[in-house]
Amino acid sequence: MAGSAAIQTVDYEVLAPLLVLALGALVVLVLDLFGHRRPQVVGWVALAVVVAAGACLPLSAGGQTLCSTSGQCAYAVGQVASAFQLVVLVSSGVVVLLSVTTVGELRLPAGEYYFLLLASVSGAVAVAGTQDLVSLLVVLEVASLPTFALVALRHDDPRAAEGALKIFLYSVVSVAVAVYGLALVYGSTGSVRFDDVRAALADPSSHTPVAAVGIVLVLVVFLFKVAAVPVHTWAPDTYQSAPVPVAAYLSVVSKVAGFAGLSLVLLAFAPWQAVWSWPLAAASAATMVVANVAALRQTRAVRLLAWSSIAQAGYVLVPFAALVATGQPRIAPLTAVVAYLAVYAAMNLGAFAVVCAVARESPDPRLADFDGLFRRQPWAAVGLAFFLAALAGLPPGLSGLFVKVGVLAVPLGTGAWVLALLMAAATIVGLAYYLAFAARLFRHGTADRGGPLSVSRPVAAAVAATFGLTVLLSVAPALAFGLVSS
C-alpha cells in the first residue's frame, strides 16, 4: 500500500502549454538542423509555438496533475498561476517578434537561438504551477540556464562571454545559497511541499533559528532572479552585452518567473512573516533608491532600461515587503503584483522594441542616437515617449500610474509609511531620466540628420502590439487588476 501511494496520475491537458513549448523547441532545432537557412521562417515557427501554448492555457486553468493516490499533486494551475503564465507567454511572443529580424542581422544560429528561448519559456511557465520547493528550484534553473547561452551566442563579441559569465556566476552562488536554505527548511519542517511547510511553520514549536536562517537563504535566489539589490550588479552589463531581444526577455520574462516563484514561497512561509518581511523591505527600499540614482548617470539606452527594470523590481517588491506592518491591506498584494507585472511587461517591451529598431543602425545605441528620432520615424518616437511616460507613471501612460497607485495602496493600507514614502520619492527621481530620455526624441541633434529610420515589419508589429496593449490597460486598468481577484 505504501508503494501505491507513490503512483501518479497525469492529466496531459494541464501540462499542455509545457508540452507544446517543449515539442516546439525540438521542432525549431530540427528545422534548422536539416538545412532550413532562412532564420525568419524558424522565427515564425517559434512564434506559432508560443501562440499555440497560449491557446492551451484554458485547458490547464484550474487543473492539477502528477497526483499520487494520497491526493498530493506536484503541479497545479490556479488563478494566480494562470495569470503569471499568461503574462509570460504574451511577453515571450513579443520577444520572438523582436528576434525575427535580429537573429538574421546578427547571424545568430536560428535553431539554437529559438530552441534555447522556447526551453527557457517552458521553465518560466512551469514555475507558477509547482507545489514544492525542490521542483520550484529545478524549473527556475530550466528557465535560467538557456538564457546564459542566449547571452553568449554572439561569438564575435567578447562582451557577450563576459556578460554570460557574470549572470552564470551570480546564478550559481544564489542557487547554492538557496539549496542550503532549502535543506535547513526541510530539516525544520520535515517536508518540501508548500502546504506541509506552511502547516509545520504554523506550529510554535517549529520557530527555531535554523528555520529562520533557512527561510532567509531561500529568498536569495528570487532576489537574484528579479535583479534586486544586493544581487543586481550582473544585470546592466549582461543586458548591454546581450542581443537586445534577449535583454528584453531577461528584463520581463525572467522577472515574472522570479516573482511567481517568490509568491509561492512567501505563501508557504506566511506563518513566519516577521522573519522574511524585514529582509524584503530592506531589499525593496535599497533597490528603488540605488537603481533610480544609478539610472540618472547612464548614457546608453540598454543600460538605462536595465537600471529602470531593477527599479521596477523594487516597486513590485513593495506589496510583499509592506506586510512587515500590522493590519490588512486595502488591495490584496498578489492582485497589485500581477497587475503591475502585466502593465510593466507591455510598456517595458515596447521601449525595448524601439531600442531594437535604433540598434539596427547603432549597435549598443547611446541616448544621443535617439536625438531627433521624431523627424526620422515619428511613430517610433511617439511610441517610445508613450512607453517612457507609462514607466514613469505619467499621462498619457495612465496604465503605469494606475498600477503604481495599486502597489502604493498596500503599504498605505498596512501602515508601512516609510516604505510608501521611499517609493514615492524613488518614483519622483525616476521622472528625471524618463523625461530626459523622452525629450531627446523631439529635439534637434546630430543624430537626426540622417534619412528615415528603417524599421523591420516584425519590430514594427511588436511596437504596435505593446502600444495597443498599454493603451488598452490605460483605458481599462480593471483588465490588469482583474487577472487575480482580491
Q: Which three cell numbers stand for residue 195?
A: 502546504
What's the CA gap between 95 and 80, in Å, rounded? 23
Share the mean pLDDT of the chain.
90
pLDDT score of 197 = 92
Half-sphere exposure of 392 (CA within 13 A, CB side): 21
Question: Is-cis flag, bond preceding 378, omega within 30?
Answer: no
Residue 325's pLDDT is 46
Task: Report the pLDDT averaged over residues 399-418.
Answer: 89
CA distance 399 to 403: 6
What is the reported pLDDT for 447?
Answer: 56
Q: What is the pLDDT, as a whole number, of residue 440?
A: 93
Q: Is the pLDDT of residue 331 over 50?
A: no
pLDDT the model gives residue 330: 41
- Cell digits of residue 187: 530539516
Burial 87-110 (b: 16+ CB within 10 A, else e): bbbbbbbbbbbbbbbbbbebebbb
Q: According to the per-residue pLDDT averaged within each range, which of 113-127, 360-374, 412-426 is highest?
A: 113-127
| Cβ–Cβ < 8 Å for 64, 75 | yes
In 106-132, alpha helices (H): 110-127
Q: How many Å apart are CA 442 and CA 438, to the nearest integer? A: 8
Q: Looking only at Cα atoms, what is the longest distance across the chain? A: 78
C-beta separation of 252 from 91 below 8 A: yes
Residue type, position 36, single letter: H
pLDDT digits (tens, 9 = 90+) for 287-326: 999 999 999 999 999 999 999 999 999 999 999 888 654 3
Asked if residue 37 lies in contact with residue 97, where contact means CB atoms within 8 angstroms, the answer is no
Query: Looking at 57-71, 167-181, 426-440, which range is the least confident one?
Result: 57-71
- pLDDT value, residue 3: 42
Predicted TM-score of the model (pTM): 0.94
Task: Inform me whether the pLDDT recorded for 123 exceeds 90.
Answer: yes
- Give 215-240 pLDDT, tens digit per residue: 999 999 999 999 999 999 999 999 99
Instruction: Encode pLDDT of 434-478 as tens digits.
Output: 999 999 999 876 555 567 888 899 999 999 999 999 999 999 999
* Measured CA angle at 309 (ends 304, 315), to 5 deg: 130
* pLDDT the model gives residue 332: 59
Instruction: Render pLDDT for 373-392 as a digit per residue (tens, 0 to 9).
Output: 999 899 999 999 999 999 99
Confidence of residue 121 (pLDDT cuts 50, 70, 90): very high
**Which residue has cell 492539477?**
64
Residue 40, Cβ density class (10 Å: 0-12 exposed, 13-18 middle, ≥19 buried): middle
DSSP tally for the chain: helices H, then strands E: 20, 3
Residue 7 pLDDT class (50, 70, 90 cuts): low
26-40, 338-352, 427-441 — which is least confidently predicted? Answer: 26-40
Overall average pLDDT of the 189-214 stretch: 87
Domain residues of the chain, as ranges?
A: 272-486
Handedness of CA 442, 444, 446, 450 (dihedral sign): positive
pLDDT for residue 132 is more than 70? yes
The reported pLDDT for the residue numbered 378 is 92
